[in-house]
């Protein structure tokens, strides 16, 4: 099986595996206690926090650990809104943000008491800013939206999770500073691969995207950012995230992040060349196909394309049968029967969509084999659907 779905989950980094197995024996105790084994666990936790904070451009006391990137986003959005409830409840976000951002913003803006009226585009209190055909947010519209009265929070991802397009985070952060509005940055797709842009007030990241174990998210809140947790507080994680922390998994996440950043320059160049190959060859090999996302300003490991007259789920199933693990941002699921909101917002083809995302160490031979089998798979699906 050729695993080509790293945008969902990066395989566990060898450095993470080694650190995890070691820390299972030395970091199992409760780091909040005072006896010897607990103090050892606390030292391991503090060291991991310091390493992750440094890698993400934060201070150790700004970083808290969550159960996932999604939970980090939820707590970040709701906490920032709770801290700004006297300003308003209006949230500005790009139209292609991850669903976790949009769902939390919709909930938070609807339930947070506001002193200023919230203007809505779509959901009450949530203003979604349009994007270009490549998925890049309209910076002028974003700046105008955050300057409106009653805006409590702005949200922007570093790179889109479905098409890989990089967002103008630094420029958006400058607009937010001018307006006095905190910016939540969803860095889940690029942390460990690309430098984190400056200017964020709240940051969310996910360890399993950079080769750490699943079950570890990172929530960073800049000093001076008004923040009030939406959950009952306890003595752990600075009151932002209640519950027992998984010290071995956090230590393994720090090891994976350290190793991934050390390899990033060489791996990014290698994977980007393979992505360029896919972007160039797929339209040459497959008729009626649209390659989606910015060809230059993009994450190094993601390429997405849509095939006209093809059912996305059938395409993924056939590719799986032939030994390729890929995903689709637009295949309708039994639960939603709805295509991707990202592709809809971009105004591109929403069916027959394939996202190829290359993991660390992805082989050129697997990419070549994928390009070899894809044309026949698409042709057969179209024939079965009665499309000549």
- For residue range 52-97, list pLDDT tens digits in order: 999 999 999 999 999 999 999 999 999 999 999 999 999 999 999 9
Find all residues with CB under 8 Å of 214, minimum gap 6, and list them. Answer: 9, 68, 207, 208
Is 155 marked active-site? no
Query: 158 with 185: CB under 8 angstroms?
Result: yes
Does residue 15 carry a pLDDT above 90? yes
Bridge partners of 149, per DSSP, are none
Does residue 337 carry a pLDDT above 80? no
On the question of a common fold for 2-8+264-384 and 14-258, the answer reads no
Percent of the chain with pLDDT over 90: 86
CATH topology of domain 14-258: 3.40.640
pLDDT digits (tens, 9 = 90+) for 208-221: 999 999 999 999 99
CATH topology of domain 2-8+264-384: 3.90.1150
**Alpha-carbon distance values, 279 to 153, 288, 328 (Å):** 36, 14, 16
Calculate mean pLDDT across residues 227-250. Answer: 91
Residue 330 has what pLDDT? Answer: 57
Residue 104 has what pLDDT? Answer: 95
Sign of the torsion angle spanned by Cα atoms 40, 43, 47, 50: positive
The span from the CA of 308 to the CA of 348, in Å, is 11
- Reported confidence tier of residue 332, pLDDT bands at 50, 70, 90: very low
Calculate mean pLDDT across residues 17-30. Answer: 96
Residue 335 has what pLDDT? Answer: 46
Calculate mean pLDDT across residues 29-39. Answer: 95
Instruction: List the catalytic residue out of 176, 188, 307, 332.
Output: 332
- Reported confidence tier of residue 371, pLDDT bands at 50, 70, 90: very high
Residue 110 has what pLDDT? Answer: 77
- Reported confidence tier of residue 328, pLDDT bands at 50, 70, 90: confident
- Reported confidence tier of residue 157, pLDDT bands at 50, 70, 90: very high
Residue 348 has what pLDDT? Answer: 94
CA 43 to chain centre: 29
Calculate mean pLDDT across residues 154-176. Answer: 98
Does residue 257 carry a pLDDT above 60? yes
Calculate mean pLDDT across residues 137-157. Answer: 97
Residue 358 has what pLDDT? Answer: 98
Percent of the chain with pLDDT over 70: 94
Does residue 11 carry a pLDDT above 90? yes
Does residue 198 carry a pLDDT above 50? yes
Domain boundaries, the chain: 2-8+264-384, 14-258
Which residue, 62, 329, 380, is CA-closest to 220?
62
Task: Give the best-scoring range by mean pLDDT among 198-212, 225-239, 342-356.
Answer: 198-212
**Inter-axis angle of helices 36-56 and 247-285, to 10 degrees?**
30
Find all residues with CB under 8 Å of 89, minimum gap 6, and list them. Answer: 81, 108, 109, 110, 112, 113, 114, 118, 125, 150, 152
Residue 112 has what pLDDT? Answer: 60
Residue 106 has what pLDDT? Answer: 93
- Reported confidence tier of residue 238, pLDDT bands at 50, 70, 90: confident
Calculate mean pLDDT across residues 266-294. Answer: 97
What is the chain's mean pLDDT, rounded?
93
CA 135 to chain centre: 15
Q: Tokens 């993601």 map to which residue?
A: 302
- Reported confidence tier of residue 121, pLDDT bands at 50, 70, 90: very low
């Amino acid at each position: 099986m050729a695993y080509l779905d790293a945008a969902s989950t990066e395989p566990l980094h060898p450095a993470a595996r080694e650190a995890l197995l070691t820390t299972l024996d030395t970091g199992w105790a409760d780091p909040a206690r005072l006896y010897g084994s607990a103090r050892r666990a606390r030292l391991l936790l503090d060291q991991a926090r310091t390493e992750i904070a440094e890698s993400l451009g934060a201070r150790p006391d700004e970083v808290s650990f969550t159960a996932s990137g999604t939970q980090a986003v939820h707590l970040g959005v709701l906490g920032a809104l709770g801290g700004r409830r006297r300003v308003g409840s209006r949230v500005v976000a790009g139209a292609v943000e991850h669903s976790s951002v949009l769902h939390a913003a919709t909930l938070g803006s609807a339930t947070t008491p506001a002193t200023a009226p919230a203007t809505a585009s779509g959901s009450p209190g949530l203003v979604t800013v349009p994007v270009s055909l490549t998925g890049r947010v309209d910076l002028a519209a974003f700046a105008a939206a955050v300057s409106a009265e009653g805006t409590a929070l702005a949200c922007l991802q570093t790179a889109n999770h479905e098409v890989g397009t990089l967002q103008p985070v630094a420029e958006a952060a400058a607009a937010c500073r001018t307006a006095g509005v905190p910016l939540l940055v969803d860095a889940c797709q690029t942390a460990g691969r690309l430098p984190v842009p400056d200017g964020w007030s709240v940051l969310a990241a996910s360890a399993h995207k950079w080769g750490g174990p699943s079950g570890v998210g990172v929530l960073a809140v800049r000093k001076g950012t008004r923040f009030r947790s939406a959950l009952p507080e306890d003595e752990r994680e600075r009151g932002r995230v209640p519950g027992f922390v998984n010290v071995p998994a956090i230590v393994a996440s720090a090891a994976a992040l350290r190793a991934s950043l050390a390899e990033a320059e060489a791996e990014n160049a290698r994977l980007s060349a393979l992505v360029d190959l896919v972007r160039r060859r797929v339209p040459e090999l497959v008729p009626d196909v649209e390659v989606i996302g910015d060809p230059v300003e993009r994450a190094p490991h993601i390429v997405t394309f849509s095939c006209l007259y093809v059912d996305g789920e059938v395409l993924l199933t056939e590719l799986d049968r032939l030994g390729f693990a890929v995903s689709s941002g637009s295949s309708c699921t039994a639960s939603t029967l709805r295509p991707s909101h990202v592709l809809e917002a971009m105004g591109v083809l929403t069916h027959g969509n394939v996202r190829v995302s290359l993991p660390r160490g992805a082989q050129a031979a697997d990419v070549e084999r994928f390009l070899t089998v894809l044309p026949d798979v698409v042709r057969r699906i179209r024939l079965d659907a009665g499309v000549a």
